[in-house]
Amino acid sequence: MSGSVVLLHLAGAVALMLFATRMVKTGVERAYGDVLRHRLRATMRNPIMAVLAGCGLSIALQSSTAVTLLVGSFAGAGIVSGAAGQLAVRGAEIGSALVVKLLTFDLTLLVPLCLIAGTVMFMATERRDWRQLGRILIGIGLLILSLEMIGQASEPLRQSSLMPLIISYFSGDFVTAYLLAALVTWLFHSSIAAVLLLVTLAGRGFIPPELGIVLVLGVNLGSSVIAPLLTRNADPGIRVVPIGNLLMRGMGSLLMLILFMTVKPPIGFLGATVPDQIVNAHILFNVVILLAGLPLAGLVYRVSEKIVAVGAKPDPAAELDVIELSALNDSALDTPSQALANATREVVRVCETVEIMLKRIIELYEDADPAKIKALAALDDRVDRKHAAIKLYLAKITRNPLTEDEALRCQELIGACVKLEQVGDIIVRNMLVHVRKKLERGLEFTPEGWQELCAFHSSVLANARLAFNVLVSRDPETARQLVLEKDLLREREKETSASHFLRLREGTAKSVETSSIHLDTIRDLKQINSLLASIAYPVLEERGLLGGSRLKAS
């Protein structure tokens, strides 16, 4: 068999291993992700429990990187402390090492059993939890099968005249071997896959013991780099835990490499065979990093915060955002038409701020953290300040003689400004409370419920833009359309509530947990829509198109 064919078979086996690992991870996340996240948040206040929770979650997800990213997001949101986050990641690294140990046993019989059971579960039912369990079993079967394929694909390399030269070179250049293992692990995005590949090749006699230890240290370096690179554009709070893991695990692997090359300790105590020595060295390294990390967790987190702060780029938009321009020019007060134009410009700016708040609040329902919540509350403070300034300015305008149209416009602007201020209050005092509740309790909407909320919110946001246009253009057709949309939204509310109660009757767990948040959010959005729709009433009333509480027939 030619060398290119051997490498092709080997590459295919490695690709299957990576796919199988991802398949198991995806199945666990879809079936048990919400429960695992909730349990992780609930147990991470105790240092020992943080380690155990990280270890268990890593075994379930078959990925310490996934746990690092998850814990980093918790720390960035203020749900867990930075020190607890560091310890959870230490436990996650041990968990991934234990997965490797488990997979080195002879599990050949599990391949057909997992594939048969997983396929039956996946194809014989439409229940989501059973299908995801089937996906997990299929992934485990393919993972074990891929290890056998790697062994078979690498067998012809025994007769290769080039292989001994390559091994001899890396055995004499530990630094290059260390860096190459780190690069391969980063490409795999999985330390489990990288160590399993080493173990399989070592079992065929390709990797000597000393080189195997060096390669394991390189794997740990490469694994510690993955999460910082994936979060390089994330918020600073989220990046701190991955950077801390890089400091502990990455620097730890480098120190261990220097120590190993200097002292050259005996490694026979790690196991009787090279594969056992590689796996046990991987476990031992992460246990040592854990023991070192227990007293150093707080210090490492503080250093990580400083590193992230140094690397953070200032946001020019944020700096410009501090400057609040005002169109309320007192020199124009003697000319009511100019003063009213200035007030209109300022009310439009309030409209823009309210629109931003309305867009961001639904984003926080899905991805919230203390910084984003604080930023939204700050926007409401801006609305309150402008509301007060506009009312005072309009009051000054009325000191001068006004025409009937000017007086009506003045009242219209005051009414619109009051309604905008009330919308801001609903978003911050009501909806933001729902966001905090959802965040603190680790709740998740059902896919159907979330889709309904998003659709309802989109309708309200579209109506808000219509209302802002009416305020400026005073177009009667747009005003009429806005009031008609209010009636349509009332029907959508009934349909959404009916669908939600149907899911409650069916006993959908997520619907029960999020019921109050779902219904209160719909109610708040409906109230916001009613306030914004009332901006159209002065325009319709002026043209005789408003009769009582309803539109007159056209």
> In this structure, are 90 and 113 located in the same domain?
yes
Overall average pLDDT of the 265-292 stretch? 91
Q: Which of 254, 280, 311 is the last residue of a domain?
A: 311
Overall average pLDDT of the 297-318 stretch? 71
Record the tokens describing residue 39, joined without a space. 């349990």
Average pLDDT over the chain, rounded to an integer: 82
> In this structure, are 326 and 459 located in the same domain?
yes
pLDDT above 60 (res 334): yes
Q: In whole angstroms, how large is the CA radius of gyration of the chain?
A: 31
pLDDT above 90 (res 292): no
What is the predicted pLDDT for the residue at 77?
A: 56
pLDDT above 60 (res 1): no
Write the pLDDT tens digit of every residue in 202-256. 888 888 999 999 999 999 999 899 888 888 877 777 788 889 889 999 999 999 9
Identify the domain containing residue 269 by its residue range: 3-311
pLDDT above 90 (res 284): yes
Write the pLDDT tens digit of every residue in 131-158. 888 988 998 888 888 878 877 777 776 6
Q: Which of 243, 277, 311 is the last residue of a domain?
A: 311
pLDDT above 60 (res 314): no
Can you spell out the DSSP letters for 427-445? IIIIIHHHHHHHHHHT---
Q: Which residues pair with 550 in a beta bridge?
A: 547
- Residue that is written with structure tokens 């630094």 in the block: 175
> In this structure, are 55 and 189 located in the same domain?
yes
> In this structure, are 417 and 284 located in the same domain?
no
Closest by CA position to 340, among listed 275, 279, 409: 409
What is the predicted pLDDT for the residue at 42?
A: 60
Q: CATH number for the domain including 529?
A: 1.20.58.220
pLDDT above 70 (res 325): no
Measured in whole angstroms, the distance separating CA 82 from the mean position of its chain's CA atoms is 17
Q: Report whether 143 contacts 21 (CB < 8 A).
A: yes
> In this structure, are 215 and 350 located in the same domain?
no
Measured in whole angstroms, the distance separating CA 243 from the mean position of its chain's CA atoms is 17
pLDDT-based confidence at 554, cuts 50/70/90? very low
- 3-state SS class at 553: coil
Write the pLDDT tens digit of every residue in 86-121. 888 888 888 888 888 888 887 888 889 999 999 998
Measured in whole angstroms, the distance separating CA 100 from the mean position of its chain's CA atoms is 27
> In this structure, are 294 and 226 located in the same domain?
yes
Overall average pLDDT of the 312-335 stretch? 63
Write the pLDDT tens digit of every residue in 163-212. 778 888 888 899 999 999 999 888 877 888 888 888 888 888 888 999 99
Q: Which residues of 111-149 are buried (b: 16+ CB within 10 A; e: fewer)?
A: beebbebbeebbeeeeeeeebbbbbbbbbbbbbbbbbeb
Overall average pLDDT of the 498-508 stretch? 73
Phi then psi for 186, rounded to 5 degrees? -65, -40
What whole-number distance in Å separates Cα of residue 203 and Cα of residue 157? 13
Write the pLDDT tens digit of every residue in 339-398. 888 888 899 989 999 999 998 898 888 777 778 888 888 888 888 888 889 988 888 888
What is the predicted pLDDT for the residue at 320?
A: 37
Closest by CA position to 348, among listed 323, 378, 376, 383: 383
Phi then psi for 213, rounded to 5 degrees? -65, -45
Q: Which of 287, 311, 335 is the last residue of a domain?
A: 311
